Amino acid sequence: MELLQNDMDDLIGKVLAGEASAQELLQVEAWIAASKDNKAYFENLKTIFNTAASADVKVVFDTDAAWNKVKTKIGDEKVISLQQRTKATTIWVRIAAGVAILMGAVYFLNNPITPAAQTIAVVSTNVPVHDTLPDGSTAYLNKKSELTYSFDSKTKSRKVKLKGEAYFSVKHDEAKPFLIEADEILVRDIGTEFNLKAYPEKDTIEILVTEGEVQFYTLYDSGLNLKAGQRAIYSKRNKIFQRIEKPDTNILAYKTKVFSFNNTDLKSVVDLLNEVYNAKIVLANKKLFDCRLTANYKEDDPAIIAEVIAETMNLTLIRKGEELILDGDGCISSQ
């Protein structure tokens, strides 16, 4: 007489639990040998059973309530003893628990538990700071600036909050948008390098794109799309975006230490050098403020630049402690 699948499952369960008779063991072995599918089926159940046993699964249930529920469905069917029913139930509970364990293991291997968001902070005080963000993008922060970077694993987005000024070189990833928030302004990367100046105490937020493209906008205004070489500002007070056509060759001087002055008043020159280098170059009298300078400098020592300016404009340079004092009755323009 051919065994039904449910009967064979019962026999396999008894074999795995070590409760089968010699005859039942022979029946199972013959069934396994009959086909490759039977053998694979048995091996799968064996793996599940052993996994469940090693996991020390504990199952607690209300036996009386369960038994009363089952009795109403039995009707005229053959009633087996409670002892036999308990053995069979234990075997299949262990196998079912094993299935749950294996499915859980597969799920967590494919969906590892990770923090919803990973956040780092970069802060600069009296000197600029260069750092690489976790996604491989880089940020060069000007003095007195700070940013926080976070990656949200749920939304698959990279978010930066900036206070101050920074030059970004973004590692573009279409599947993981890179978004910068500075006050009410948002900057969305489209494969980009750009400088963003957004000091909280200032009314304007300024951006210069050096490579690629960005969207410069707010939640309530689509703003501007800017490409390499383009520059724009946003007025927080007036809520207005404006493209700036006139180039500012010294926007990136804090990063590059390259200066280009074109008929620039000497006071502005000195102010920029002092800001970038934390220097103390002083103009001895107001007559020098409006002297005009056209020159290019690339030097990491502000004292050397001060000496060149003095030579160029026929001024004297006096060192007094940390101060570099430029003095003279007039000046000779280099234009």
Q: What is the pLDDT of residue 152?
A: 84
Q: What is the mean pLDDT of residues 188-204?
A: 93
Q: Reply yes or no on whether the pLDDT at 326 is more than 80.
A: yes
CA distances from 207 to 28, 74, 170, 171, 276 (A): 77, 78, 15, 18, 19
Instruction: Cite the residue boundaries of each domain of the chain with CATH code 3.55.50.30.
Output: 257-327
pLDDT one-digit tens code per residue, 117-167 = 568 999 999 999 999 999 999 999 999 999 999 998 888 899 999 999 999
pLDDT band at 59 (very low <50, low <70, confident <90, very high): very low
Lookup: tokens for 200: 């909280």
Q: pLDDT at residue 8 above 90? A: no
pLDDT confidence bin for 70, thresholds 50/70/90: very low
Q: Given CATH 3.55.50.30, say whether it is the number of domain 257-327.
A: yes
What is the dotted CATH code of the domain comprising 117-243?
A: 2.60.120.1440
Cα separations (Å) of 109 from 55, 113, 120? 18, 9, 26
Residue 46 reports pLDDT greater than 50: yes
SS3 225: strand
Half-sphere exposure of 164 (CA within 13 A, CB side): 23
For residue 262, give the amino acid letter. Answer: N
Q: Name the segment(s) of the chain with CATH classification 2.60.120.1440.
A: 117-243
The answer to whether the beta carbons of residues 161 and 181 sit under 8 Å apart is yes
pLDDT at residue number 68? 52
CA separation for the pair 14, 91 (Å, rounded): 7
Residue type for position 189: D
Question: Which structure tokens are listed for 121?
Answer: 């902070």
pLDDT in tens, 221-238: 999 999 999 999 999 999
Token pair for residue 269? 């020159």
Q: What is the pLDDT of residue 83?
A: 47
Residue 48, pLDDT > 90, answer no
